[in-house]
Chains A and B, each alone.
Chain A
C-alpha cells in the first residue's frame, strides 16, 4: 500500500496549517470538484491589491491558438517610463482551474521591485479545451508579448517566463516551443513547483497519495483532463509534458523550486538535472517538508519566507537590476 511508504514529514508550521484547514483542502481533488475549484481561487490578486502596490492594469484581447481570442492583462507600475524588464506569466490550477490573477502575488513583487512589465494570460482550460489548447494559447500570448514588447514598455532582451504548478509545466512547454519554432528569445524560465510529468511513476508521486496538497489522485485528474486517453501513453508531446523531453539543449537559464513533501518533487529535481546535463544553467531548491504551493497557502511561515526570498533573489539577478 502506498499509504505505508515512508515519506518526508511536513514542516511543523506547514503541518499546523494543514491541520487547521483540513476540511478546506481535501488531499484529492476529483473531476467532480472542478466547478468548485474554479469558483474559489483563494490566491487571486484583486484590483485593490494592485492599487495598493501602485500598479496599473489594462486588459487586451490577443490572438490565441488558431487565432481565437484570449485575454491578457498588462500590469506595470503607475510611474513606469521607457523600457523595463518583462515577465510573461502562466497561472496554475491543475490545467483545469485558475485565471490570469491566480498566484499573481508571487510575481507582482518583481513588477514593484524591478519596474518590470507583466503580461499574464488567460489560457483556455481543460477538460473543455484539452491539450494543446493550454500550452498553445500561452505560446500565442508570448508571441504577442514579444512582438509588442517595446510598445508595452518592455526590453525584449530581458523577457522571462514564470508560472506555478500547472502553469510552471506550461511555462517549461512554452520555453521548449520558443526554442523549437525559433520564437521569442527568453532570458529565463521560472518554474515554480512545475507539473511536468503525466506518467504517474515517480517515488514522490507514490509517497503523496491521499495526503498533503495536490496528491497523486489530483494529479491524475489534472493530466486526464488535459490528455484524456493519451495520459501516460507514447502519444504525448514534450510541450504538454516537458519531463518527456530528451533534448534540453539551447534553453534559457532556469529557476526551479518545490517542496520535499509533494508529488512534483522528483520530476522537478529530474528536470533540473536534465537541464544541467544539457549544459543549461539551472538553480534548484527543494524546501524540506514543503507541501504543494505552501508559499501561497501559508505565506506567513518561515519556510515560505525562505522560498520566496530565494526565488526573488534569482529573479533580481536574471533581470539584471
Chain B
C-alpha cells in the first residue's frame, strides 16, 4: 500500500533523501497546505504515525493518511519539536530512523508558519507580501502600531535559522525557497551569525520592495 514509502525507501543516497523531504514540505508550505496535509506528509515520509498538538488539540495521521485515535499514552513518542502553543512528533516503538529528525523539523516549520498565518496577531508575512494591497498592509501596520512612513528594512535569513532578537519575523515563501523575513524597525539589529540578506530601507507601507 505504501508505494511512496516504497519508492522513497528504495533510494539509498542519504543526500537524495534529504532533498526529497525538503522538497515535499517546501511545496506543502508554499501552497498553503493545512495541518492534515503536513501530518500526512510526515507520516508517509517516515512510515510511522505523525502527530501534532496545537493549543491542546491533538491530531494524528498514519502513513496511509488516515486519522489515528488509539490511546496516545501507550505510544512512544520519538522525535519531537515543541513551542509555547504547539508540539509535533513522530511515534515509534523502536529506535528513531535516520530521517526522523529532518522530517519532524520540516513538520515543525510548517506548523509554525501555519500557526503564524492563522493567529489573530498575524501580519508580518502579509506586510512583506507584494500581493497585498497598500491599504491592507497599512491596516496591519496600524494594528502593530507602526506608522506607515517609518523607515524599515527586511532581513532575509534561512527558514530554519533562529529568530533575530525580539524583532518581528515570519517565514515566507520566496523564489529562493522558504526564508525567514525579519522586519528591522530600529535599524539597530545586530548582524546575526548566519548568512543574511539585507533589504533596502523603505517606508513601512512599501516593505515588500525592501
What is the interface of chain A, defined by CB distance below 8 A to chain B? Answer: 12-13, 15-17, 19-24, 42-43, 49, 105, 296-302, 304-305
Contact = CB atoms under 8 A, between A and B. Distances in A.
Contacts of A20: 4, 8, 20-21, 23-24, 45
Nearest to B20: A20
A15 B40 contact: no
A304 B3 CA distance: 13
19 contacts: A12-B27, A12-B32, A12-B33, A13-B33, A13-B41, A16-B28, A16-B33, A21-B4, A21-B20, A23-B16, A297-B3, A297-B4, A298-B3, A298-B4, A299-B1, A299-B3, A299-B4, A299-B64, A304-B65
Interface of B: 1-4, 6-8, 16, 20-21, 23-28, 31-33, 36-37, 40-41, 43-45, 63-66
Contacts of A298: 3-4
A296 B36 CA distance: 20
Contacts, number: 76
Contact of A301 (B2, B7, B26, B40): B40
Nearest to A105: B1
Task: Give the interface SS of chain B, mostly helix, strand, loop or mixed.
Answer: helix
Instruction: Report, nearest first, the 9 A-B pairs whose CB atoms are least far apart.
Output: A300-B65, A12-B31, A16-B27, A19-B23, A20-B24, A300-B44, A12-B33, A20-B20, A16-B24
A304 B37 CA distance: 12
Contacts of A42: 3, 6-7
Contact of A24 (B2, B7, B23): B7
A297 B8 CA distance: 12
Contacts of A24: 7
Scoring B3, B16, B24 by chain A CB atoms within 10 A of each residue's CB, the highest score goes to: B3
Given A16-B24, A20-B24, 14 more contacts: A13-B28, A13-B41, A15-B27, A22-B23, A24-B7, A49-B1, A105-B1, A299-B65, A300-B2, A300-B43, A300-B64, A300-B65, A301-B65, A305-B65
A304 B16 CA distance: 26
